[in-house]
Amino acid sequence: MSRVEDFLPSPGELIPAASTVKVTISLNRSSVRFFKGAAHKHHTKYQKMIREVLDRYASHFQAA
């Protein structure tokens, strides 16, 4: 049996850091509840999920 050298990138290298801007936003309580529940189920952060939805929405309509 031979040992295989580690060739995978570190976790930090897998997801490039995006340039973000901190904002204050008021959301419907039911929307926040939905994202918090989904985030808990998928072991992630709800703000990250909301940011991803907004980014995809913006990308879709910027390309149009």
* Per-residue pLDDT tens over the stretch 22-50: 999 999 999 999 999 999 999 999 999 99
Asked whether the predicted pLDDT for residue 59 surpasses 70, the reply is yes
Q: How large is the average pLDDT for residues 49-58?
A: 91
Mean residue pLDDT of the chain comes to: 87
Cα 51 to Cα 18: distance, rounded to the nearest angstrom: 11
- Annotated domain spans of the chain: 30-64
- For residue 14, give both structure tokens: 């897998």
Percent over 70 (pLDDT), the chain? 89
Cα 30 to Cα 36: distance, rounded to the nearest angstrom: 10
- Which element (helix H / strand E) includes 50? helix 46-63
